[in-house]
A and B are shown apart, each in its own frame.
Chain A
Amino acid sequence: MFVYEKKLQYPVRITNTNPKLAALIISQYGGPDGELGASLRYLSQRYSMPYPELKGLLTDIGTEELGHLEMIGTIVYQLTRDLSEEDIRTAGFDSYFVDHTAGVYPTAASGFPWSAASMQVKGDLIADLTEDLAAEQKARVTYDNILRLSDDPDVNDVIKFLRAREIVHFQRFGEGLRLAKDRMDAKNIYYMNPSFDR
């Protein structure tokens, strides 16, 4: 089960209201490469993982991603505090505001709501871990793009932390794949699916 701890993994302290930036950052909350999809992908993939290191990795990283979801939600919330009449008419934020006011809703910046179609659980460790490697890279690029678009140092301080985590997770998923390979058929790693075939 999960137990809530009443603190963030890394401090979020945003000084300035900036609804336009919030409407971009929301993509890491509910977009195709965001933290909600990351946590559900890993926490769902772990059931069909055959080896303890892989169960551990997906549990650890999936749990950490839930903490990142909370950090992104906090950034969006703090960027949209104290909105003025003028703020809610900001191009790019007005179309979000009309549906959600100043609530935090899992959607991509494009307006497409969070969809399980942006993730996969294939039930095959090579396919799933290879997807996870790609997922970490796609999230890393989204953070790169946020750093290109944002000039708010309070926001960027948090984004650079989250970006660094993607690289560490990529490394660990790669190591997980390496450890799994050592237990599979040495000549033909595609001989069988150890999650399914007996």
Chain B
Amino acid sequence: MYAESTRAMRENAMSMPAEAESTSGAAPANNGNGAVCQNGHGCLPGPCANLAFPFIAMQPENARRYGQKEALREGTLFPGLNLPFHRELTSRFPAVNTALSELMALDFAIDELGLYLTTHRDDEDALALFRSYIQLAREGREKYVAAYGPLLQTDDTQGGFTWLDDPWPWERGGND
């Protein structure tokens, strides 16, 4: 189906050990053409590629990942895609370590993995991680809702129609 890109990714993945939740130990990957790809790099489909067509390298499977809190702080789950601007200040999140920020971090990892899987649907390790994050977030969500109120209008909470209670997310205290 999408043979070229998938084959290139698989060749790359074979020589790149999985290092989930870790940022250390970059392993070079052979792209199948004799070239070596470092972390943050990928491979083109082969020595020949179409003219008049833009190419972004496919992110290899088993790319290194941050843990979920670091991922939310950096704005990506993948160190290879973390390309900051020189004027950025060091982020202070999550200086306040709250139940909400923990849930945000889990939900962000889920979003980021879901988006990755959209272009890497055959990456079974990523799919397994995606499912395990969903399970963790489900548990975290139940605890959060019980303690602080509904996240969805349909969340079951005690004490009346608490969906309407302040603060809303944009208000003071809405992100604590």
Contacts and interface: CB of A to CB of B under 8 A. Distances in A.
Interface in A134-186: 143-144, 147-148, 153, 156-157, 160-165, 167-168, 170-179, 181-183
A172 B93 CA distance: 25
Interface residues of B, number: 61
Contacts of A182: 1-6
A4 B153 CA distance: 8
A164 B114 contact: no
Contacts of A12: 170, 175
B100 A11 contact: yes
Specify which of A126, A143, A174 lies most central, judged by the most chain B CB atoms within 10 Å of its CB: A174
Interface stretch (A24-32, A34-42, A54-62, A106-114): A54-62
Contact of B151 (A6, A130, A168): A6
A157 B56 contact: no
Interface string B33-72: 0000000000001000010111111110000000000001
A13 interface: yes
- Central interface residue in B6, B89, B151, by most chain A CB within 10 Å: B89
Nearest to B107: A9
Question: Which of A81, A130, A160 counts the most chain B CB atoms within 10 A?
Answer: A160
A116 B6 CA distance: 36
Range for the number of chain A residues in contact with chain B = 35 or more
A100 interface: no
A70 B175 CA distance: 13
B24 interface: no
A73 B170 contact: yes
Interface string B86-114: 01110111101000110110011001101
Nearest to B108: A9
Q: Which of B6, B78, B116, B170 has the largest count of A CB atoms less than 10 A from its CB?
A: B170
A178 B72 CA distance: 27
Nearest to B3: A182
Nearest to B71: A164
A61 B4 CA distance: 25
A148 B53 CA distance: 33
A83 interface: no
B114 A60 contact: yes
B19 interface: no
Given A57-B118, A176-B119, A171 B81 contact: yes
Interface of B: 1-6, 45, 50, 52-59, 72, 74-76, 78, 81-85, 87-89, 91-94, 96, 100-101, 103-104, 107-108, 111-112, 114-116, 118-121, 150-153, 163, 168-170, 172, 174-176
Interface of A: 3-13, 53, 56-57, 60-61, 64, 70, 73-74, 77-78, 81, 126, 130, 133, 143-144, 147-148, 153, 156-157, 160-165, 167-168, 170-179, 181-183, 189-190
- A-B pairs, top 7 by smallest CB distance, nearest first, are A174-B56, A164-B75, A182-B2, A11-B175, A175-B119, A74-B170, A161-B75
